[in-house]
């Protein structure tokens, strides 16, 4: 475990740092270890870092996408997950990094907040038992649904689960 994550506020004060509230990952090492294990087991390409005092995962999810000839091809989405200060009571935020998604494709119709982050469920339905692994799984579903809606294979993005496509995807579908 990186030394930075193991330094307690009292140890930081001994080193001359300003006093600050303890983060969730400093206060709950057991939960931190559970989060790291859950993500690294299922999504080993994700990396964990500290950014502006918040823990952040970055990595790529891939959804299989049919090419019209019965073959599935990977269609990747690079995302950043940001743990809020209030985690686990507050939901993890998911920001799509690449490909660049058009700015006008946000709002309830696209399941994106006005800042571009993904809406993976109603905020009141967040549960403290959810992990970053669960969020990555939901982001993968969101990506499939987003593509299906973008390329007019569904009439709307479903609120729960994977979209059921109404037609096969064209072989020459543009790639972001």
**What is the radius of gyration, based on Cα positions, of the chain?**
19
Assigned domain for 94 exists: yes
Quick one: what percent of the chain has pLDDT higher than 70?
80
- CATH number of the domain bearing residue 45: 3.10.110.10
pLDDT score at 1: 44
Residue 28 is assigned to a structural domain of this protein: yes
Rounded CA gap, 34 and 1, in Å? 13
Query: Is residue 30 domain-resident?
Result: yes
Question: What integer pLDDT is reported at residue 77 of this predicted model?
Answer: 96
Strands 47-51 and 72-82: unpaired
- Interval 44-68: pLDDT, tens: 999 999 999 999 999 999 987 776 6
156 in a structural domain: no
146 occurs within a structural domain: yes
Question: What is the number of other CB atoms lying within 10 angstroms of the CB of residue 34?
Answer: 14
Residue 122 has pLDDT above 90, yes or no: no
| Residue 29 belongs to some domain of the structure | yes
Q: Would you say the pTM of this structure is higher than 0.75?
A: yes
Q: How confident is the model at residue 21 (pLDDT cuts 50, 70, 90)?
A: confident
Count of structural domains, the chain:
1
Domain assignment of residue 140, given as a range: 21-150
């Amino acid at each position: 475990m990186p030394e930075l994550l193991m330094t307690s506020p009292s140890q930081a004060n001994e080193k001359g740092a300003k006093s600050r509230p303890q983060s969730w990952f400093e206060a709950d090492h057991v939960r931190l270890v559970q989060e790291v294990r859950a993500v690294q087991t299922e999504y080993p390409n994700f990396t964990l870092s500290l950014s502006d005092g918040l823990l952040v995962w970055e990595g790529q999810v891939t959804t299989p996408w049919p090419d019209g000839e019965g073959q599935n091809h990977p269609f990747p989405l690079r995302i950043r997950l940001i743990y809020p200060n209030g985690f686990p009571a507050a939901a993890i935020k998911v920001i799509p990094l690449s490909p660049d998604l058009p700015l006008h494709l946000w709002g309830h119709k696209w399941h994106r907040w006005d800042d571009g982050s993904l809406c993976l469920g109603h905020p009141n339905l967040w549960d403290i038992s959810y992990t970053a692994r669960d969020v990555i799984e939901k982001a993968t579903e969101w990506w499939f649904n987003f593509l299906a809606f973008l390329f007019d294979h569904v009439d709307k993005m479903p609120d729960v689960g994977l979209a059921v496509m109404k037609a096969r995807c064209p072989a020459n579908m543009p790639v972001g």
